[in-house]
Structure 1
């Protein structure tokens, strides 16, 4: 039961004249303020001093909790070679656990029983429900991300056309760094509700591809060999699974081929870099073998009732208008 005390601390009428007694007067005033009762909680007085102690212990405890959680996470990475994603999850969960312990310990120091939250919990829940829906939603979503781990620190994800590396999963939001080194902050609830492509959830091996079209009449088997040779010459392309060339279609302007291959990626730009390298190499190999890469073209057929009258005129010859 909370019993607020509306009385003010008694203050002496004025400081004595001499300095020694003046210092005693100042100390006595500070002690009176320190011991001033703000309210009574189930028979336990809550004074200004105990409130200050609570705040100081809570701040120091939060700092120590963050320091300890980071130390444990770094130790797991160094000694047990734990990946960055699981280490970040352990760090966040350990921090929240230690913070809860510090909060309970701080309440015990100032003699505030935990049973008070049974009464205040209902009012607090109503206030949170109406005034902090987004904050609570994002916090709970962050806990789900840390426990279920559909997205981990270090993963390459794509959400709403944005691709980048997950750098941090916080209590309210997740920080993603794009290939342009731009930090994008995404609310945790948005990540759970959106359709996310996680390129490295299972492993960091992904399939990529390069399309090429050659002119009609080109030796198709030679084209296949050229594409496979280009893939075999690139050091970043995996040998298993092996690259594959598919003759995909007879296009309007070209015979369409596509080279499929597998690479390991650590950053979003790496896959595009490998594809670019292959296009350069394929163009050089096609030129060396005399194979022409097709380009869009149109054939125009004229259907007339009589032969066309075609004349070759000198540039200086005047043109007679019909």
Structure 2
């Protein structure tokens, strides 16, 4: 009831103001010699204001009817049972709190007018007012819509992946391509719904330019870099890359940063700009198969043919080693401590297997086969020569015979 009593005078003032505006437009049409185009413009404007005035009058009539019914209902309730008195202090606190919140919500942040010169007279076509309530409502609606659109984009892209068997590397790109236009459309719809015109941002252009130049420079840079990465597809989800002393698999490409999972399980957040500005080694950009190698030494006297046969057997028995391209064993050279052989094999890099594991299994199998065949891997041996003018005295002491047992 108090709310109706508060807003009814404002509505009555709007009705009177609209009627005065209509009368002014009528006088303007009757008293001036206008061109046909200007007369048509003012006639349409007059018709529009008259329709608005009729709607406001109907709304005022309904408000008065509602006020009368509420007053009648309250009067009947008071006759049936006496009202419960509220503490005077509570009423004052509630009234002050409500007035403060309402005043803050209706505080006008920006006011703009759209005018047009007609017959040498500047006529106000439309007025725009942006309040704190408009801004709060727009933010709440945008956040709710953003959360909903994110789920819609994610579910639709996943459904398309299952339906068309799309690779995982394209999922992030498709999700962003679906989400970003929807966010832009959401922002325009929210601004239109709360009646915040786009022309308002022209007044904030200077402040926004300063904010972007100083506070949001890195954010905008990373955002644009993320879009470039999505379209160029030089770095995809699942790729094993090496950047800025970190090596791991890309698990997500975000709008601001990308997420990498290293071999030790640590997840690293890498700004998208680094993936464009730094030297990035992509191990799986065009070909996931990579060659690894190591050397080993066997003692002199071992059969070279038998050694190569055993190593080839170990290569064939080790899992995760590719058959194509074929692996190979070479007799590299005669070393100072033994015969040096080189082993070369290919492994398909991916998130599911650590590329070091096949190499460890291969070395373990080679050691097993060499132990069975009695082939030794020598350690480094050196001869020491002592150059002395006089004989070197060597004294060897035996352990004492009467040691007490521990």
Partner of 1:222: 306
| Residue 38 of structure 1: aligned partner | 109
Q: Which residue of 2 aligns with 1:164?
A: 248
Return the TM-score normalized by structure 1. 0.79
Structure 1 gaps of 5+ residues are: 1-8, 317-322
Match of 2:257 in 1: 173
Alignment match of 1:250 (pick from 334, 337, 340): 334
Deviation at 1:313, TM superposition (A): 6.3
Given that residues 37 and 48 in structure 1 are in contact (C-alpha distance below 8 angstroms), is that contact kept between their aligned partners in structure 2? yes
Matches within 5 A, 1:93-104: 93-104=177-188
Give the greater-gyration-radius structure (CA).
2
TM superposition shift of 1:207: 1.9
Shift of 1:260: 1.2
> Cα 1:153–1:299, aligned 2, differ >3 Å: closer, same or farther?
same
Q: Are the equivalent residues in 1 in contact too, given 2:222–2:272 (CA < 8 A)?
A: yes
Deviates most, 265-274 or 103-112: 265-274
Q: 1:269: how far off? A: 5.3
- 2:369 and 2:154 map into 1 onto residues whose CA distance is 52
Distance 1:313 1:179, change over 3 A: closer
CA distance in 1, matches of 2:208, 2:255: 19
Q: Secondary structure at the match of 1:248?
A: strand
Separation in structure 2 between the aligned mates of residue 74 and residue 63 of structure 1, nearest angstrom: 17
- Tell me whether 1:67 sits opposite 2:151 in the alignment: yes
Give 1:70 shift: 0.6
CA positional deviation for 1:109 = 1.7
Q: Using the TM superposition, give the Cα deviation of residue 243 of structure 1 relative to its aligned residue in structure 2, in angstroms.
A: 0.6
1:103-182 aligned at under 5 Å gives the runs: 103-117=187-201, 120-121=204-205, 123-182=207-266
**Is contact 1:253-1:297 (8 Å) kept?**
yes
| Structure 2 gaps, min length 5 | 1-5, 10-83, 114-126, 399-406
Check the 8 A contact 1:226/1:285 in 2, yes or no: yes
Q: With CA pairs under 8 Å and 6+ residues apart, which has the higher RCO, 1 or 2?
A: 1
User: Structure 1 pair 164/46, CA: closer, same or farther in 2 (3 Å)?
Assistant: same
Does structure 1 residue 86 correspond to structure 2 residue 157?
A: no
Is the Cα–Cα contact under 8 Å of residues 165 and 268 in structure 1 kept in the other structure?
no
> 2: distance between equivalents of 1:144 and 1:171?
10
TM-aligned CA distance change 1:217 to 1:301, over 3 Å: farther
Cα gap change, 1:106 to 1:292, in 2 (>3 Å): same
Q: CA RMSD in A?
A: 3.4
Cα distance in 1 between the residues matched to 2:396 and 2:183: 93
SS at match of 1:237: coil
Post-superposition offset of 1:283: 0.7
CA contact (8 A) 1:205 1:262 kept: yes
**SS state at 1:270 partner:** coil
- Against the structure 1 CA distance between its residues 126 and 168, is the aligned structure 2 distance closer, same or farther, given a 3 Å change threshold? same
TM-score (norm: length of structure 2): 0.64
Asked if the contact 2:319–2:358 (Cα under 8 Å) also holds between the matched residues in 1, the reply is: no
Deviates more, 1:276-285 or 1:256-265: 256-265
Q: Does 1:188 align with 2:272?
A: yes
Corresponding residue number in structure 2 for 1:315: 397
| TM-superposed deviation, 1:35 | 5.3
Secondary structure of the residue that 2:251 maps to in structure 1? strand
Report the structure, 1 or 2, having the larger helix content.
2
Secondary structure of the structure 1 residue equivalent to 2:309: helix
